[in-house]
Amino acid sequence: MLEEGKKGPAFTLPNADGKKVSLKDFNGQKIVLYFYPKDMTSGCTQEACDFRDAFPDFSKVNAVVLGVSPDPVKSHKKFADKHELPFELLSDENKEVVEKYGVWKEKSMYGKKYMGVERTTVIIDENGKVKKIFPKVKVNGHVEEVLQAIKEA
């Protein structure tokens, strides 16, 4: 189970251009790793656009933003291009990383149970340690909360 104070589990995933991106590529920087269910859905689009709009503020505090979902590279490319996202979207089609980070969970909609990504944000510090976990994220106001937590970290 992912815990604050422990190392963030290492991973390598393809970005929207199919290029491999690893957690260790960002050593020495703060990392905002946000897990979201699906490209082009209303909540996920809102969250991505909120991170996009606050992107300069994250840059000022030496933080990178990485979005992760099980969607394929092609879907991420379309999503990133459509909304002009200035940060990496990583494709976890095999669901290895969402499982490592404990965000692949049983969900329920209209009484039907299914497996999916529980919207979660993880802040990892410059040394690779998990500083803060935001489980079951509500999109409205979330980006401001994350920015505040980074400034305090």
- Tell me if residue 44 is catalytic: yes
Catalytic residue among 21, 44, 66, 68, which?
A: 44
Question: Are 92 and 99 spatial neighbours (Cβ–Cβ below 8 Å)?
Answer: no
> Which tokens hold the place of 119?
């919207």
Q: Side chain identity at 64, as an amino acid letter?
A: V
β strands within 40-81, DSSP E: 63-69
> Which tokens hold the place of 29?
């920087």
| DSSP label at residue 24 | G
Name the residues annotated as catalytic: 44
